[in-house]
Amino acid sequence: MDLIFEYGKPYIKYEHDHREIIGEQARPKVARILFGHSLLNIFISPMQMQKHREHLGDLIDPHLLLPPAIDTKRFRVLNGVKRDPKKIVNVTGRLYESKGFRHMLQFVISKQGEYKFEIYTKNHKDVKQVFSKLKDVKIMPPVENDYLPQVYNSAGYVIHLPRALEACGRTIAEGLLCGCEPITNVNVGIRSFKEFNIGNKKLFDIKTFRSYIEQGLFSFWRAVDTAFHGIRDKRKKTRFDIGLYYKYN
């Protein structure tokens, strides 16, 4: 904040959640300043962008809608991994209340005898105590990121039912790329990409979805370059500029 305002540094704001505008930590006055002075505001789902527009109006412009940054070469349908169409996986980092702990518990209870569940969470010991009396439920610590594609490919569904608004819902996007059907709710931002028909097995096109994600990196750097173009023209290139160019080409 000091660098931005005291020294007048130009900046681009990448918004990861809704913290500036919603909840106990919301800072509406600061949000108006941050978004209003940014050269470009970046959002990671249409829902997140719309929520910010409701609170900040045209201060969010100009903005860029960026798809989730996922390595599509790793998160894909894998040959040789047996998929269980009755298995549902939940991968949310830490399954606490805002991430949908209660919603998940209610869903598992309602589907007893119909499906098998695998829940990967950092607080696996606490979650296991609550789910211990339920059948066909495995509670495990998180797996390494390199192993996640195999987890998704082994299941028919990926589930995420957060109580709080989630700007994207990366786990749903990863599961979709790996061939899972999504089970989610309106609090997950990835669902607001209406053009991909997420949640509609007949209309969802995984190739189009993958292509959109792959183009996201290029769209991001083109937008950044455009935003800073006028400033860059007014000064000589530095080693930092040249480093960025060679790193991201």
Q: CA 22 to CA 37: how far, in whole Å?
A: 20
Query: What does the block give as tokens for 73?
Result: 């070469």
- The chain-wide mean pLDDT, for the chain, equals 89
Query: From residue 93, how far is each of 29, 140, 146 by CA, in Å?
Result: 31, 11, 15
Number of H helices, E strands in the chain: 9, 8
Region 85-96: mean pLDDT is 94
Strand order in the sheet with 155-160: 137-140, 116-120, 84-91, 155-160, 181-184
How would you label 188-208 residue by residue, b for 16+ Cβ within 10 Å and e otherwise? bbbbbbeebebeeeeeeeeee
Mean pLDDT computed over 129-151: 94
For residue 173, which of 84, 97, 76, 242 has the smallest C-alpha distance?
Answer: 76
For the residues 155-175, what does the mean pLDDT come to? 96
| pLDDT of res. 97 | 93
pLDDT of res. 228: 86
Q: What is the pLDDT of residues 191-211, one digit of tens each?
A: 999 889 988 888 999 999 999
User: Which secondary structure element, helix H or strand E, spans residue 63, and what is its range?
Assistant: strand 63-65
pLDDT at 231: 65
Beta bridge partners, 63, equal 41
Domains in the chain, ordered, with CATH? 1-66 (no CATH), 84-206 (3.40.50.2000)
